[in-house]
Structure 1
């Protein structure tokens, strides 16, 4: 589709093979030769000594990260795409193109474009062509963030009878090692050209590729005319209600006068409507800056600490009933008064000038040790900013000792000598422009936290009268009150449901929850390495202390949480297996080894000294035997339903369970499944 919404046929105009055409009538031979050479140089840049992905090594710095994707990994990336519900309704099935149809279409077009002789002659031709078409089908079925390497595509290819790779005078002779290397090099360039310059543009020119909120990383394909019919009504409504169309010259003039750039828009279906989402974190050329949000665990950590302290205080006195009240603010980011937000944020700076410096945290990447040693992995780097007043002369080492390095082990901190000084007045002007002249902001979460904290101070101060009997938790715009005083819970619900116009707060009654009767007058490189790593990570993200602290939870509840976490881990492991081609799925011995490794890692993670040192008072009395029983039971039940083909794994898990129940020491896992 062109910028005006018209259908564009063929390759994009920027490609050489789209611009090249036959020679003129006056010079047909010369024009044809020049055109052929240009196409050959585009297909085999390495052979012509041109820039290519095989020999180019980008120098990526902190300011360039993610600016360009290079290398021989092939992936189809969707643009600022909207999602689809994918609920399997008749309308949904008719709107989207199934992966089978997209794959068949791509294979048919490639077979029409590429002569059969390119793949060889005789049985070699049939073998190579079928292998490439199988990889085309795999490529179409890739999920978001998955990639396909050129090495994967080349596996199984035969070059012996590919005549165009052989020099004319050597076709009858056996290939030498150097000749084979050169033929392989040329053929790899051709394969990269097929996928990068034929297949990907073919998909982009015919289909709109997008993920789905319901199915997470699964990709859906829509013909451009179909997607335009779906999105056009929503865009018309946005132009009428939310956006104002301006001339290109006026837009350029505004951008030249301000430090803020532009952002992409996508449409995200929500129930029966399309919700506009501004991607304010996407890097913009020359001006963009990527902002990473904190992890879920880092958000839950302070909530967990407050919740545990409240529970410990409540245990000291007589047993009381807890009253819980939860409310959700409707469209919090859209309803906050901009002028009030700006005025509140202007009261925060306490100095006239601030210095912003950067430093980098370097940590070892994920690695899975085996009997031969430790699998090496690329270290993870994260650039951070450090703000201080201009009069603050504290050294970087002192900041590390006091706050930056607290609770972080196996981490290298590297300071950057470059610093930038900002004037508070200039920052206030930039803030005003940022808030009043934009729809949404990468700082919306911070603004919301400050703004609603002021709301709590002014309108919910009655909850602070008895800190030992009431606890108010808030995650951005979601409020949760836990109290032993029913009258306070009722008053809290009454205040919130009545609305607070000064703060733009209107509660969504459909999302309000209470645990008591209430009436108000208002209307979530070795074989199997990646599989093992993903399985372990699936458990890590569910291992929050809140669920396994036996000093906070009853032992029975901690065991139930462990069983639920193991079951979810097993389901994710089986889902990952289903996404893999049959010839790349882990063997039974790898599956068994992964379960055994999961037991060891889970027990070590839940009972680690580091966790107890970082969070005093944390206790986990779960034994390794209990962890093993939970893992074996979960994987036995889930694999039996989701992956019945792994009969050896099911038998092994059941044998281990019987051995544990009889009190015998179970055999080593590597001796059970071969």
Structure 2
């Protein structure tokens, strides 16, 4: 029985439908129709599943046996993308929303781990030699699977350039000197393996291009729902889990989520001003509600992860910290646009000064709002 379908499907029918889906996909370009001859339909509801099955077979039969032969024991990281042909079969387990890990070879007892999100791999090892060997194995490719490394997207956090003839261009270094590896929307700290959001993808276009502004009905109500929508993608448990990140980085992740939200708030209000202008006190009320919503959402997301007690995420936040970080983020962002938000800024600063944490913030909170750790945000056009 297929989960969610509430009915049984015979094997012959399932195979027929898969064959039709993979080998009978028709594309229309202009006024001509084409039968897709290579690969699986992009955007299909089962394409990512077929891709995972294909990768699972490759991992089980080729990649993991290779890793087991090269095990040793310094922290090194390799990341890369691959191109694929037809699909096959294999086993992978989703360990938390959006992340795939092979449970036959988890962290326990091994000095390395391989993670994959669709067709992006990341390999973490305590051995530079093992990481180097893995990189060269990926570069060699897997002809029997029609799979090859995309040499424009690979990334390593150690020096192999003099040997490989390739230069890695996906390592990001902030003003604080910390180096990160970009992987699937995340920044992986090359020294600690802590995880932050990758906001560099917003550099290429003005942030307002990512928004849809509703000018009909009740503009204030729509703004309230949009603020909540801005925060949902940035509330993945991986950012707030104390098993993964230090207390300082957990708070930094919250602060950075609010920085982006505040930037989007400004863009939304600026576009909305063409048809109406709401009072600053109304904006303040919406912002305060969004800060409380963020705290509730973080707790809810952390509690929703059910991957077994061994991997249960841990959330350690003090009362008022999320609100304090949010107020700091809004003040930081809007003071760069203070000609438009002068009255709102006064109200936000007043709230921040009156907050009980402001008198004696912890070292972790000071770290979070230190501008050097969020320097990438000021390259975003808003």
| Distance (whole Å) between structure 1 residues aligned to residue 22 and residue 298 of structure 2 | 46
Aligned-pair RMSD on alpha carbons?
A: 2.9
User: Within 5 Å, which residues of 2 pair with 1:84-95?
Assistant: none
**Could you tell me whether the CA contact under 8 Å between 2:138 and 2:148 is conserved in 1?**
yes
**1:516 equivalent in alignment to 2:119:** no
| Distance (whole Å) between structure 2 residues aligned to residue 607 and residue 586 of structure 1 | 31
| Distance (whole Å) between structure 2 residues aligned to residue 450 and residue 435 of structure 1 | 20
Aligned match of 1:447: 50
Aligned match of 1:484: 126
| Distance (whole Å) between structure 2 residues aligned to residue 655 and residue 648 of structure 1 | 11
**1:591 equivalent in alignment to 2:283:** yes
Aligned match of 2:36: 438
**Distance change (3 Å), C-alpha of 1:579 and 1:422:** farther
Q: Deviations over 1:430-480 (max 9, x none)?
A: 356337941551244333222222222232123256643221111222111
| Distance (whole Å) between structure 2 residues aligned to residue 543 and residue 506 of structure 1 | 33
Q: Which runs of 5+ in 2 are unaligned?
A: 27-34, 72-104, 167-200, 202-216, 361-382
**Could you tell me whether the CA contact under 8 Å between 2:302 and 2:314 is conserved in 1?**
no
* 1:566 Cα deviation after fit: 0.7
| Distance (whole Å) between structure 2 residues aligned to residue 597 and residue 483 of structure 1 | 43
User: Within 5 Å, which residues of 2 pair with 1:258-273?
Assistant: none
| Distance (whole Å) between structure 1 residues aligned to residue 140 and residue 267 of structure 2 | 45
| Distance (whole Å) between structure 1 residues aligned to residue 314 and residue 229 of structure 2 | 22
Q: Deviations over 1:64-104 (max 9, x none)?
A: xxxxxxxxxxxxxxxxxxxxxxxxxxxxxxxxxxxxxxxxx
**Distance change (3 Å), C-alpha of 1:425 and 1:638:** closer
User: Larger Cα Rg: Structure 1 or Structure 2?
Assistant: 1
| Distance (whole Å) between structure 2 residues aligned to residue 600 and residue 432 of structure 1 | 46
After TM superposition, the score normalised by the length of structure 1 is: 0.34
**Distance change (3 Å), C-alpha of 1:621 and 1:495:** same
Q: Secondary structure of the residue that 2:24 maps to in structure 1?
A: helix
**1:498 equivalent in alignment to 2:107:** no
**Distance change (3 Å), C-alpha of 1:474 and 1:435:** farther
**Distance change (3 Å), C-alpha of 1:581 and 1:596:** closer
After TM superposition, the score normalised by the length of structure 2 is: 0.58
**Could you tell me whether the CA contact under 8 Å between 1:531 and 1:586 is conserved in 2?**
no
User: Within 5 Å, which residues of 2 pair with 1:154-303?
Assistant: none
**Distance change (3 Å), C-alpha of 1:607 and 1:572:** same
Paired residue total: 252
For CA contacts below 8 A with separation 6 or more, give which structure has more relative contact order: 2
Q: Deviations over 1:294-325 (max 9, x none)?
A: xxxxxxxxxxxxxxxxxxxxxxxxxxxxxxxx
Query: Which of 420, 423, 447 is the equivalent residue of 2:13?
Result: 423
Q: Secondary structure of the residue that 2:244 maps to in structure 1?
A: coil
> What stretches of structure 1 move > 4 A for 4+ residues in a row?
522-527
**Distance change (3 Å), C-alpha of 1:476 and 1:606:** closer
| Distance (whole Å) between structure 2 residues aligned to residue 486 and residue 600 of structure 1 | 44
| Distance (whole Å) between structure 1 residues aligned to residue 6 and residue 338 of structure 2 | 49
Higher alpha-carbon deviation: 439-448 or 508-517 = 439-448
**1:641 equivalent in alignment to 2:339:** no
